[in-house]
Amino acid sequence: MASSLPSSPSALSVLDVAPVVPVVVVADAADAVPLARALVAGGLPAIEVTLRTPAALEAIRAASADVPDAVVGAGTVLTPGQVGDCVAAGARFLVSPGWTDVLLTAMQGSGVPFLPGVSTTSEVVALLERGVTQMKFFPAQAAGGTAYLKSLAGPLPQARFCPTGGIGPGNAPEYLSLPNVGCVGGTWMVPQDAIAERDWVRIEGLAREAAALRG
């Protein structure tokens, strides 16, 4: 799948790379490359590295440089400064848990795709007014889950989502069956104990199971 991606990052649709986007917390940048290789081997090339640790930017830089089949992005992007830092580190997409006008302007000017976070109908409409049709739905389960997304599909069919938050192998297929869901985000295929133990074989197996969730 990764080999068929557009060469230009700006042409990439994050929602269409794979059914599941691993949401990764990297404490040691040295783990980034083998982790990314395991996820790609398991069929999940789009990888969201969250900016929750001091190692995040270096992890993005290393995985982007050394794992060419990975589509490495940055998550938990909160400020315009982080937008610039992430793109400079090689991030091919950006994800935020929410958005403001200032953050949205920075992401729109970044030259890479982005998924601003929404949890209400008004936020979706506001983004559509600004020409944004691809969004992160967060926190998905707490904000209404699949029932909420089904309700949005009728009046706002142009909006497409990557739901994240409270999603696992048990409920991911229900989300992925919705016409306005391109992919889901989650952490279950990158458990912290497996990363700490550098059990890349286990992570590859979990990734392969996640990649098969959309039949």
DSSP of 152-185, one letter per residue? HHTT-TT-EEEEBSS--TTTHHHHHTSTTB--EE
Out of 136, 150, 174, 209, the active site residue is: 136
51 exposure class (CB count in 10 Å sphere: 0-12, 13-18, 19+):
buried
Pairwise CA distance, residues 140 & 82, whole Å = 24
Clarify whether 150 is annotated catalytic: no
**Do residues 46 and 73 make contact, with C-beta atoms less than 8 angstroms apart?**
yes
Clarify whether 48 is annotated catalytic: yes
Out of 48, 58, 123, 150, the active site residue is: 48
* 3-state SS class at 131: coil
Pairwise CA distance, residues 48 & 25, whole Å = 9
Distance between alpha carbon 197 and the CA centroid of its chain, in Å?
A: 24
Q: Enter the tokens of residue 81.
A: 């400064």
Task: Please list, residue by residue across 59-95, b when 16 or more beta carbons sit within 10 angstroms of its beta carbon and e when fewer do.
Answer: bbbbbbeebeebbbbbbbbeebebbebbbebbbbbbb
Active-site positions? 48, 136
